[in-house]
């Protein structure tokens, strides 16, 4: 959510930003906010004047009563009653208008960074940089579900009976491999100075509304029936929510945390749930990172964060690239975002394994996350998040890039301590 002062002072900038995101249907929201804000400020002025008048008249009543001028005092009392009735009406109108303004403001997209390429959708995202040589071996790389089957590591048929489509059982060395990658990425982030956390896996609606747009929530979140609780789609939500309505000391900044959680997603949309494999599923595990910092430090942290994910994947012998998200592919709260994509030697192309974003002060405004400056004034902080490692997609990339011709899978040095010293997983 942007600052309403920006709309008051530069509505054309806000409208141009909406156009850059190809959301022209939202252009009328800016003028509507301005008109409602004008009405609200007029009501506030009237209310303040009536309260001041009420206080003055109350003092006069006391003086008249003291001087036994009962009739005059009663006449003024009638005016005070009328003032109070109007004040109540004004407060009701203010609340209604404020609610309408907030709803509109939460639909107006955040101002994107000047460096973001302009494009309608993800087909116009721009490659930034490649890390590692994307190789295709001279032997066949099977579909990842077939690799896992030969390792005795995947059972979707049983998961279909217990839970339905979009779920799976991982077993044996495949399950251990996922735990190893999560553990390695956790320790990597701890070594970078991030505080490790296991957060709540369910959050209330006010936190959901604070961290994401309505469209994202509808497409992603599972609602707990009869409760004001949602299953998290990523631990970023509960990690940022941890600081809701807090005024943080500047001496505590930046706050850098890495978190483990299962993630639950409805995956509503045209892409659908994958029938045979595990690329798009309802449940997976993830190591996440978040940063809460001063506004002037956010872009430096953004560049550090995606570079950590790149280094982790390179240490797993997986070539990757970063892809700059264009304006039309950015969620409404995001200022700038890039995807980390892993090389698939089977498909001979890259696929998304993580995403890094800076959201400016949008989440902080929604959730009331502030710091007290040296001048004694409070200001909104910037929030950032990045996927360290998402289990199933990292597993797919790992298997394809570390597979041998005989169906065995090499274990890179960084994972061997988490795999009981194993250097290779052999096909069953």
Q: Is the pTM of this model over 0.85?
A: yes
pLDDT tens readout for residues 281-317: 999 999 999 999 999 999 999 999 999 999 999 999 9
Band of residue 100 on the pLDDT scale cut at 50, 70, 90: very high
Q: How far apart are CA 359 and CA 379, in angstroms?
A: 15
Contact 290, 369 (CB under 8 A): no
Band of residue 1 on the pLDDT scale cut at 50, 70, 90: confident
Band of residue 269 on the pLDDT scale cut at 50, 70, 90: low
Query: Which pLDDT does position 299 carry in this prediction?
Result: 97
The total of other beta-carbon atoms located within 10 Å of residue 199's CB is 21
CA distances to 110, 126, 225, 330 from 119, in Å: 16, 9, 39, 10
Cis peptide before 421 (omega within 30 of 0): no
Answer CATH for 4-105 from 3.30.565.10, 1.20.1250.20, 1.10.760.10, 1.10.287.40: 1.10.287.40
Q: How far apart are CA 305 and CA 223, in angstroms?
A: 30
Fold of 122-425: BirA Bifunctional Protein; domain 2 (3.30.930)
Which comes out higher in pLDDT, residue 167 or 214? 167
pLDDT tens readout for residues 68-84: 777 787 788 888 888 88
Residue 357's H or E segment, with its range, is: strand 349-358
pLDDT tens readout for residues 358-406: 999 999 999 999 999 989 999 999 999 999 999 999 999 999 999 999 9
Tell me the domain boundaries of the chain: 4-105, 122-425
Closest CA to 116 of 329, 360, 292: 329
- Residue carrying structure tokens 């005016």: 79
Query: Which pLDDT does position 57 carry in this prediction?
Result: 82
Q: How far apart are CA 315 and CA 415, in angstroms?
A: 9
Mean pLDDT within 125-148: 96
Contact 359, 333 (CB under 8 A): yes
**pLDDT for 212 beyond 90:** no
pLDDT tens readout for residues 20-65: 999 999 999 999 999 999 999 999 999 999 988 888 887 777 777 7
Query: Which pLDDT does position 268 carry in this prediction?
Result: 66
pLDDT tens readout for residues 166-193: 999 999 999 999 999 999 999 999 999 9
Closest CA to 159 of 18, 52, 10, 284: 284
Tokens of 338: 């890039």
Q: 3-class SS at 256?
A: strand
Q: 3-class SS at 68?
A: coil
Backbone angles phi, psi at 324, to 5 degrees: -75, 125
- Residue carrying structure tokens 């339905």: 164
């Amino acid at each position: 959510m942007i600052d309403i002062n920006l709309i008051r002072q530069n509505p054309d900038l806000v409208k141009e930003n909406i156009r850059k995101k190809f959301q022209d249907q939202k252009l009328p929201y800016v003028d509507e906010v301005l008109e409602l804000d004008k009405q609200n400020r007029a009501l506030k002025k009237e209310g303040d004047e009536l309260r001041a008048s009420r206080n003055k008249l109350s003092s006069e009543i006391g003086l008249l009563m003291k001087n036994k001028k009962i009739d005059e005092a009663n006449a003024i009392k009638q005016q005070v009653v009328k003032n109070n009735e109007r004040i109540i009406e004004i407060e009701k109108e203010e609340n209604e208008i404020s609610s309408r303004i907030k709803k509109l403001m939460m639909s107006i997209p955040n101002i994107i960074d000047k460096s973001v390429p302009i494009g309608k959708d993800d087909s116009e995202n721009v490659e930034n940089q490649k890390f590692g040589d994307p190789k295709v071996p001279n032997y066949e790389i099977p579909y990842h579900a077939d690799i896992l089957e030969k390792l005795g590591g995947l059972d979707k048929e049983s998961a279909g009976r217990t839970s339905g489509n979009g779920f799976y059982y991982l077993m044996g060395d495949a399950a251990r491999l996922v735990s190893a990658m999560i553990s390695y990425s956790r320790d990597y982030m701890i070594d970078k100075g991030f505080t490790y956390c296991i957060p709540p896996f369910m959050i209330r609606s006010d936190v959901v509304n604070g961290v994401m747009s309505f469209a994202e929530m509808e497409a992603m979140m599972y609602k707990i029936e009869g409760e004001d609780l949602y299953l998290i789609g990523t631990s970023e939500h509960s990690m940022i929510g941890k600081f809701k309505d807090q005024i943080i000391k500047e001496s505590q900044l930046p706050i850098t945390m890495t978190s483990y959680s299962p993630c639950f997603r409805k995956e509503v949309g045209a892409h659908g749930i994958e029938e045979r494999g595990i690329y798009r599923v309802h449940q997976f595990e993830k190591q996440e990172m978040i940063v809460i910092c001063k506004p002037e430090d956010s872009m430096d942290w953004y560049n550090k964060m995606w570079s950590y994910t790149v280094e982790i994947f390179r240490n797993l012998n997986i070539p990757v690239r970063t892809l700059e998200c264009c304006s039309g592919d950015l969620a409404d709260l995001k200022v700038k975002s890039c995807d980390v994509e892993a090389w698939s030697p089977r498909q001979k192309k890259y696929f998304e394994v993580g995403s890094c974003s800076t959201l400016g002060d949008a989440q902080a405004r929604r959730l009331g996350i502030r710091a007290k400056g040296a001048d004694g004034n409070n200001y909104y902080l910037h929030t950032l998040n990045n996927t360290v490692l998402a289990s199933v997609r990292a597993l797919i990339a790992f298997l394809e890039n570390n597979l041998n011709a005989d169906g065995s899978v090499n274990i890179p040095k960084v994972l061997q301590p988490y795999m009981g010293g194993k250097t290779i997983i052999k096909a069953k």
